[in-house]
């Protein structure tokens, strides 16, 4: 099977848009289009039922660690059980992200981002990794995107820049007590966040406890008035001593010392005030930068990710079955041939370049029993038979015999 290092397995099409694309294929008759739509309804219903069960299980697993929960626990768990449940939650969350076609950010990639001198938005931050008992970052959509930022070359006016960014970024964080954290932050909880369109140099902006740092230029602009004032005062005092005589200098010593103290105090306050104003300006810019990039938090992240994973499963199943059913020859296709066909179909029909996960798609078709395998060759079941199998699968989900 072809591997494309510059492509991702995520299919950036809405489920209904993909159905319309496939139903517009010239190889389908009017009757087949209607039956294929029914096929898509059955597949969607089956996956929705299965994912609903998994969602309820993961919601139960996350409930003891949800910082937004407003319900009470009837059966408290011990510390040992809590640690075990935490480990299981992290593993299950990572598996969910994998099904939604996210990739875990490696430790080396995170370290490179943290070592950036400044973020793309020009905000300098510092992150202490000792804050985190557990930290995982998942990303999807490694693309070049446009951002707008101020440029000194254009006298502070905004200009468009192309930068590498992640279309989606997900955090799962377990904190430990730390001086950088506010006292009202519950470190026994697990925090989930999802963001969009985050520059690859900026993940540190999203981490709890990140501190805004001033750039060297800002530090120089703050320190310059203080040191310049001190130098000017010292120069004036020395000059007055040597130009007017030692006696005059001594007689004015007391006044000069008070003048120096007052002046230094004034310059010190001015520098401190400028420092605080700069920090507030940086914090405001950080808040404005993230305001429109946050998509969801905590339990809402689970709901969103389950929906995305479910849709991705449906899209893969639709494509694999359709191409095997309508485009494969009578002798069928191998996994590699089907993979190449699907990728070519998406590129020619929708201008999408993806690295289709053929192994995962065929595993779903086999599990649903709508494909036959002979050796290393696959054949799609006829559409009417596939509908019967899916109907029987759905009926078997609900078995109740009234005595």
Q: Which residue has the tokens 């002979």?
A: 374
pLDDT confidence of residue 184: 82
Which of 218, 303, 226 is closest to 270 using CA atoms? 226
Q: Which residues pair with 193 in a beta bridge?
A: 171, 297
Query: What is the pairing mode between strands 190-199 and 211-213?
Result: unpaired
Instruction: Give the model's pLDDT for residue 208.
Output: 80
- The answer to whether the beta carbons of residues 64 and 82 sit under 8 Å apart is yes
Tokens 């951002």 — which residue?
Answer: 147
Burial of 342 (0-12, 13-18, 19+ CB in 10 A): buried
List beta partners, residue 146. Answer: 162
Q: Compute the distance between CA of residue 13 and CA of residue 311 in angstroms, rounded to an integer.
A: 9
pLDDT of residue 124: 66
Q: How many CA atoms lie within 13 A of 82 on its CB side?
A: 13
Low-confidence ranges of the chain (pLDDT < 70): 1-5, 115-124, 148-158, 210-276, 278-279, 281-283, 285-286, 289, 401-403
Q: Are 162 and 129 in contact (CB under 8 A)?
A: no
DSSP 328: S
Quote the CA–CA distance of 307 and 301 in Å, as a whole number: 10
**Sheet of strand 371-374, all strands in order from the earlier edge strand to the far edge:** 333-334, 377-380, 371-374
Cβ–Cβ < 8 Å for 204, 119: yes
- For residue 120, which of 152, 150, 157 has the smallest C-alpha distance? 150
- Predicted confidence at residue 261, as pLDDT, reads 54
pLDDT, tens digit, for every residue of 268-278? 566 666 666 76
Sheet architecture: strand order including 103-104: 103-104, 132-150, 158-175, 190-199, 294-297
- Tell me how many degrees the CA angle 342-345-351 measures, rounded to the nearest 5: 120
Alpha-carbon gap, residue 109 to 203, rounded angstroms: 10
Whole-model pTM? Answer: 0.78
- The region that residue 185 occupies, defined by phi over 0 for left and psi between -120 and 50 for alpha, beta otherwise, is beta
Q: What is the pLDDT of residue 246?
A: 47
Query: Residue 249: its pLDDT value, please?
Result: 46
Query: Looking at residue 137, what is its pLDDT?
Result: 93
> 107 near 203, Cβ under 8 Å?
no
Tokens 């591997």, residue located: 3
Q: Residues 299, 66: contact at Cβ < 8 Å?
A: yes
- Specify the 3-state DSSP secondary structure of 161: strand
């Amino acid at each position: 099977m072809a591997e494309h290092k510059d492509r991702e397995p995520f299919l950036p099409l809405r489920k209904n848009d993909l159905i319309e694309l496939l139903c517009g294929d010239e190889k389908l008759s009017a009757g087949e289009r209607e039956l294929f739509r029914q096929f898509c309804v059955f597949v969607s219903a089956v996956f929705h039922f299965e994912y609903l069960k998994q969602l309820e299980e993961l919601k139960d697993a996350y409930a003891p660690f949800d910082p937004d929960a407003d319900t009470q626990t009837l059966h408290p768990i011990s510390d040992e059980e809590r640690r075990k449940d935490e480990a299981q939650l992290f593993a299950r969350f990572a598996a969910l992200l994998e099904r939604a076609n996210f990739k875990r950010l490696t430790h080396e990639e995170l370290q490179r981002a943290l070592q950036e001198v400044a973020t793309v938005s020009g905000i300098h931050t510092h992150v202490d990794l000792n804050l985190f008992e557990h930290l995982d970052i998942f990303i999807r959509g490694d693309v070049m995107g446009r951002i707008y930022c101020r440029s000194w070359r254009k006298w502070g006016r905004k200009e468009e820049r192309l930068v590498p960014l992640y279309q989606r970024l997900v955090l799962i964080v377990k904190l430990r007590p730390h001086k950088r954290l506010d006292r009202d932050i519950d470190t026994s909880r697990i925090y989930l966040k999802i963001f969009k369109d985050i520059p690859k140099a900026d993940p540190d902006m999203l981490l709890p406890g990140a501190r805004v740092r001033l750039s060297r230029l800002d530090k120089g602009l703050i320190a310059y008035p203080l040191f310049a004032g001190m130098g000017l005062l010292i120069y004036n005092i020395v000059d007055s001593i040597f130009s007017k005589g030692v006696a005059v200098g001594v007689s004015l010593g007391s006044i000069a010392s008070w003048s120096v103290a007052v002046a230094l105090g004034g310059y010190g306050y001015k520098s401190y005030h400028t420092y605080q104003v700069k920090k507030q300006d940086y914090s405001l810019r950080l808040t404005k930068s993230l305001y429109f990039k946050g998509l969801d938090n905590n339990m809402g992240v689970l709901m969103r990710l389950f929906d995305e994973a479910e849709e991705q499963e449906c899209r893969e199943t639709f494509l694999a079955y359709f191409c095997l059913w309508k485009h494969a020859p009578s002798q069928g296709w191998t996994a590699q041939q089907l993979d190449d066909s699907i990728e070519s179909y998406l590129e020619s029909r929708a201008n999408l370049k993806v690295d289709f996960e053929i192994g995962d798609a065929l595993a779903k078709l086999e599990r649903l029993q709508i494909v036959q395998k002979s050796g290393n060759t696959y054949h799609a079941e006829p559409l009417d038979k596939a509908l019967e199998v899916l109907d029987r699968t759905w009926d078997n989900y609900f078995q109740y015999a009234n005595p």
